[in-house]
C-alpha cells in the first residue's frame, strides 16, 4: 500500500502513531535479539568461570565447519526436517483434496476440527503419546508382532510429522479451495480426463500452498529439540546440541554460533520457496 505523498501532516502523524509501537517491537525486541545472537557467536568464554566475555574469536564458527560431529548433526537435522516435510505433504495433499472437493459440508467441518483439535493439546503430551506408541512393548510393537522400529531417527520423523501436520493441511486445504470449480470443468470440457486435470491444472495451482505449508513444517522441525529427546533414543539434532551447549556446557557463544545454522537454512529455504509464490500464500 502506498501512502500518498500529499498526505496532510496530521495524517502522517497518525500513521506514525499507528505503526510506531509494532515497528519498535519488530526492530528492537525481535530483530535485536537476533543481532545479539549473531554478535555473541563471535565472543569467548572465560575458561575458569565460564562467564561470557566480549572478546572477539572466530573459534566458534570454525568449530562448526571443522568438527565432524557438528557437520553430521547439521546434515541429520536437515534430513529430518526434509523427511517430516515430505511425509506431511504426502498425507496432507490427498487429505486436503478430499476435504475441499469430495467431502460433504458436514464431513468437511468434522475433518477440519479433527485436524486442528490436537493443536490444543500440549506438545509434551503428544510427544509422550508417541513415546508410548513406539515403545518396544507399546501398541505398535504389539500389533506388528514386535517389529516396531523403536526409538531413533525414524521415530523422530514420524512424531514431528504428526506434530506439524495441521500446519501443512490447513494451507493446502485453503489452496485446493481457492481453485474454482469452473477451471476443473473447463479442463474436462476441453478433453482432459480427471488425472490430466489434476496434473496440469490442480497441481500447479496448489503447489504454492504446499510450499507455504512446507515453510512451517521445515522450520519447526529444524528447531525442535524436545521430540528428539523423547522418542529419538541416542539421536542428536541441532536443537538438542544447542541446548546441551547452553545448559550443560554453559558455552553460550558456541550455542549462538550453532543457532546460526538453522537460521541460515531457513533463510535459504524461504528464498527457494519464494520462487514458487508460496510467500503470497502464507
Partner 1 sequence: MAQVAARRDVRDADPATPGIALEGVRKTFGSVVAVDRVDLEIADGELFAMLGPSGSGKTTVLRMIAGFEQPTEGRIRLAGIDSTDLPPHRRDVNTVFQDYALFPHLSVQQNVEYGLTVRGIGRAERIRRAGEALDMVRLAGVGARRPDELSGGQRQRVALARALVVRPRVLLLDEPLGALDLKLREQMQVELKAIQREVGITFVFVTHDQDEALTLCDRLAVFNAGRIEQVGAAADVYERPQTRFVAGFVGTSNVLDGAAAAALVGRPGVFGIRPEKLEVLPAGTAAGGGLRSTEGTVAEVVYAGSTTRLIVDTDAGAALSVVQLNADTGPAALRRGDRAVVAWHPESVRTLESASPTPPPEGSA
Interface with partner 1 (CB under 8 A): 180, 182-183, 185-193, 196, 200-201, 204-205
Of 14 and 200, the one with the shorter C-beta distance to partner 1 is: 200
For residues 179 and 205, the answer to whether their CB atoms sit within 8 Å is yes
For residues 117 and 165, the answer to whether their CB atoms sit within 8 Å is no
For residues 82 and 218, the answer to whether their CB atoms sit within 8 Å is yes
Share of the chain residues as helix, strand and coil, in percent rounded to the nearest 5: 75, 0, 20
Query: In angstroms, what is the minimal distance from the CB of 245 to partner 1?
Result: 46
Of 187 and 235, the one with the shorter C-beta distance to partner 1 is: 187
- Phi, psi of 53, rounded to the nearest 5 degrees: -120, 135
Query: In angstroms, what is the minimal distance from the CB of 204 to partner 1?
Result: 5
Query: In angstroms, what is the minimal distance from the CB of 274 to partner 1?
Result: 17
Query: In angstroms, what is the minimal distance from the CB of 271 to partner 1?
Result: 21
Of 129 and 179, the one with the shorter C-beta distance to partner 1 is: 179
Bridge partners for 52 per DSSP: 45
Query: In angstroms, what is the minimal distance from the CB of 123 to partner 1?
Result: 37
Query: Taking the CB of residue 274, how many other CB atoms lie within 10 A of it?
Result: 13
Write the burial class of residue 76 (CB in 10 Å: 0-12 exposed, 13-18 middle, 19+ buried): middle
Of 125 and 190, the one with the shorter C-beta distance to partner 1 is: 190
Amino acid at each position: 500500500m502506498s501512502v500518498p505523498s500529499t498526505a496532510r501532516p496530521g495524517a502522517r502523524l497518525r500513521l506514525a502513531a499507528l505503526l510506531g509501537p509494532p515497528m519498535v517491537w519488530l526492530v528492537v525486541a525481535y530483530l535485536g535479539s537476533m543481532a545479539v545472537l549473531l554478535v555473541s557467536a563471535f565472543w569467548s568464554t572465560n575458561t575458569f568461570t565460564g562467564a561470557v566475555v566480549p572478546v572477539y574469536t572466530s573459534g566458534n564458527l570454525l568449530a562448526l565447519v571443522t568438527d565432524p560431529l557438528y557437520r553430521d548433526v547439521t546434515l541429520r537435522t536437515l534430513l529430518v526436517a526434509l523427511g517430516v516435510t515430505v511425509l506431511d505433504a504426502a498425507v496432507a495433499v490427498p487429505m486436503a483434496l478430499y476435504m475441499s472437493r469430495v467431502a460433504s459440508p458436514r464431513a468437511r467441518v468434522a475433518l477440519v476440527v479433527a485436524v486442528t483439535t490436537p493443536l490444543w493439546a500440549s506438545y509434551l503430551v503428544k510427544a509422550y503419546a508417541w513415546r508410548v506408541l513406539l515403545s518396544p512393548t507399546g501398541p505398535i510393537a504389539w500389533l506388528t508382532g514386535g517389529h516396531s522400529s523403536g526409538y531413533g531417527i525414524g521415530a523422530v520423523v514420524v512424531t514431528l510429522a504428526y506434530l506439524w501436520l495441521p500446519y501443512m493441511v490447513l494451507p493446502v486445504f485453503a489452496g485446493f479451495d481457492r481453485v474454482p470449480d469452473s477451471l476443473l470443468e473447463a479442463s474436462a470440457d476441453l478433453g482432459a480426463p480427471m488425472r490430466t486435470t489434476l496434473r496440469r491444472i490442480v497441481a500447479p495451482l496448489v503447489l504454492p500452498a504446499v510450499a507455504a505449508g512446507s515453510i512451517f513444517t521445515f522450520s519447526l522441525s529444524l528447531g525442535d529439540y524436545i521430540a528428539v529427546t523423547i522418542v529419538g533414543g541416542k539421536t542428536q539434532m541441532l536443537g538438542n546440541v544447542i541446548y546441551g551447549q547452553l545448559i550443560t556446557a554453559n558455552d553460550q557463544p558456541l550455542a549462538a554460533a550453532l543457532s546460526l545454522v538453522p537460521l541460515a537454512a531457513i533463510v535459504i529455504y524461504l528464498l527457494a520457496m519464494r520462487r514458487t509464490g508460496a510467500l503470497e500464500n502464507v
